[in-house]
Amino acid sequence: MNQTIAENILIIDGSPLAFMQEFLEHNQIQETLMVAVSLQDIYESILLDFNYLLNSIKT
How many domains does the structure of the chain reveal?
1
This prediction has a pTM of 0.46
Cβ neighbours of 53 (radius 10 Å): 13
CA 38 – CA 45 distance, rounded (Å): 11
HEC sequence for 2-44: HHHHHHHHHHCCCCCCCCHHHHHHCCCCCCCCCCCCCHHHHHH
* Structural domain harbouring 20: 2-58
Phi and psi at residue 33, to the nearest 5°: -75, 155
pLDDT per residue rounded down to tens, the chain (59 residues):
667 877 888 888 887 777 778 877 877 777 777 788 899 988 998 999 899 888 888 76
